A = this chain, B = another copy of it.
Amino acid sequence: MPLLLSWVDSANFSDCPFPLNNLPCCVFATGDDTRHCAMPIGDHLLNLASLESAGHIVLDGGPLLNGPNWNRFMAAGPAVWAALRAQVQRLLATGAPERILIEPHLVPLAGTKLVMPLEVSEYTDFYAGRHHAFNVGTMFRGPENALPPNWLHIPIGYNGRASSVVVSGSDVRRPWGQIKGPNDEAPRFAPSQRFDIELEMGAIIGTPSENGQPLTVAEADAMIFGYVLLNDWSARDIQAWEYQPLGPFQSKATATTISPFIVMKAALEPFRVSTPTREVPLLPYLVEAEPLLYDIDLEVALTPQSAGETVISRTNYREMYYSAAQQLAHHTTSGCAMRSGDLLGSGTISGPSKESRGSLLELSWGGKEPLVLNGGETRSFLHDHDTIILRGHAKGDGYTIGFGDCTGRILPALSDPYAR
């Protein structure tokens, strides 16, 4: 598919993240926090709430875009998702006769306050990056026992905390927690000293499923509305002490940041790729009949308080061993109902090379090999006032599909968390 041309000229460049081919979903806030569903086109936002209200968009079961987020629209299902995309692509296409009616619904993207595009129902995080699992396993158990015995059979996941999911641009405060070093006699309560990032993609569930009904991989894929960039902030020192035997808990509950734009599955269709070759056969319920992973270039940039940016990792979503559809199918095996607005983190996306690792834990090899940043500072884990930006792009035939930056800045820990 080539670049689709729009009468919004700024959208017609091969490196513009928001051409007519993309049309991701976001929400902007005005005045006293009134929320508007919108889509970026070039350097503008198209206010879909006002467009629908004015009758230029008509959806089955509508109005669906007048709420504070995209949840009601997402629950309406694939036919409605396709209808909106087709209508907006027609209205914004070069030569569209409706241009004069649509222009008043455009607002400049620059300076607009983007807020959470969805209400997260529940948040699940997976552990599906082969290289990440091998790296972390090697650090903890040695290379012979790096992968847990179930890893090649199960898309391992655990439930996270939906209340801690925030939108790009939200500051993230360094957490306190129980920490016990290997040589400490007893744990202490202190700010995390090994606060980390995890570069992930998030899949967002659109149509819900029924309690008691496992889903095939194809059914699961059909329920996925779209994808976001996702940074699963992780306190490694808290994690190390707490995670046995029932998994990570407070180490992962400070914040999870998502990009402000949900890229709809339809926009990613040209970038579908297969998961890597299986090392052992999958059980039939996990086998994919078609490619369900995506070729999306990803990078992580770190900017200290008083120096410029360093790109500390470059990788690609296609490195995942399991697709989001496989993860979602597994998520329902027990009969677990999925709901509109559920968010599934892919797991940390690390490539095979050192510079393609998706966490500081891996990049600094547990702190043993600190990274050297542009400007000379070193990093094993995050320092106060560091800013992290995740970026993602799929490169098409003369166009780019972007997700917007997924940004967070580290605030110092509270000096006394119980002072009131």
Q: Which residues of A contact B (CB under 8 A)?
A: 121-122, 127, 148, 150, 153-154, 156-164, 166, 173, 175-178, 180, 186-189, 211-214, 216, 235, 238, 241-251, 253-255, 280, 283-285, 330-331, 333-339, 414, 417-418
- Which of B150, B163, B331 sits near A211, CB closer than 8 Å? B163
Inside 8 A of A250's CB, which chain B residues have their CB?
Answer: 330-331, 333-334, 336
Nearest-neighbour CB distance to chain B for A224, whole angstroms, equals 17
Instruction: Identify the 3 closest CB pairs spanning chains A and B, nearest first.
Output: A247-B247, A253-B336, A159-B159
- Binding site secondary structure of chain A: loop
A235 to B187, alpha carbons, bound, how many Å?
Answer: 33
Given contacts A163-B338, A173-B212, A245-B247, 19 further A-B contacts (CB under 8 A): A122-B122, A122-B163, A150-B178, A150-B180, A158-B246, A161-B336, A163-B339, A164-B337, A166-B211, A187-B283, A188-B283, A189-B284, A189-B285, A213-B417, A214-B417, A235-B334, A238-B334, A243-B245, A253-B331
Inside 8 A of A241's CB, which chain B residues have their CB?
Answer: 150, 154
- B334 and A251 within 8 A (CB): yes
- B160 and A335 within 8 A (CB): no
Nearest-neighbour CB distance to chain B for A90, whole angstroms, equals 35
Nearest B residue (CB) for A281: B186
Nearest B residue (CB) for A417: B214
A163 to B250, alpha carbons, bound, how many Å?
Answer: 21
Nearest B residue (CB) for A209: B163
A137 to B19, alpha carbons, bound, how many Å?
Answer: 57
A-B CB contact pairs (8 Å), 16 listed:
A122-B162, A122-B163, A148-B244, A150-B180, A161-B336, A163-B338, A164-B337, A173-B212, A173-B335, A176-B334, A189-B333, A214-B417, A247-B247, A247-B248, A254-B334, A254-B336
- B214 and A176 within 8 A (CB): yes
- A283 with B178: in contact, given A246-B248, A334-B253, A336-B164 (CB under 8 Å)? yes
Inside 8 A of A255's CB, which chain B residues have their CB?
Answer: 211, 335
- B242 and A150 within 8 A (CB): yes
A158 to B156, alpha carbons, bound, how many Å?
Answer: 15
A214 to B174, alpha carbons, bound, how many Å?
Answer: 12
Nearest B residue (CB) for A155: B249
A414 to B243, alpha carbons, bound, how many Å?
Answer: 34
Inside 8 A of A160's CB, which chain B residues have their CB?
Answer: 159
Inside 8 A of A188's CB, which chain B residues have their CB?
Answer: 283
- B247 and A246 within 8 A (CB): yes
Nearest B residue (CB) for A141: B245
Inside 8 A of A157's CB, which chain B residues have their CB?
Answer: 246, 249
- Which of B244, B248, B280, B418 sits near A285, CB closer than 8 Å? B418
Inside 8 A of A242's CB, which chain B residues have their CB?
Answer: 150, 154, 156
- B161 and A158 within 8 A (CB): no
Nearest B residue (CB) for A187: B153
Nearest-neighbour CB distance to chain B for A110, whole angstroms, equals 27
A173 to B333, alpha carbons, bound, how many Å?
Answer: 12
A244 to B127, alpha carbons, bound, how many Å?
Answer: 11
- Which of B150, B247, B338 sits near A187, CB closer than 8 Å? B150
Nearest B residue (CB) for A416: B214
- B254 and A161 within 8 A (CB): no
Nearest-neighbour CB distance to chain B for A322, whole angstroms, equals 13
Nearest-neighbour CB distance to chain B for A130, whole angstroms, equals 15
- Which of B121, B246, B247, B254 sits near A335, CB closer than 8 Å? B254
- Which of B164, B211, B251 sits near A164, CB closer than 8 Å? B211
Inside 8 A of A162's CB, which chain B residues have their CB?
Answer: 122
A127 to B249, alpha carbons, bound, how many Å?
Answer: 12
- B248 and A161 within 8 A (CB): no
Nearest B residue (CB) for A238: B334
A153 to B153, alpha carbons, bound, how many Å?
Answer: 34
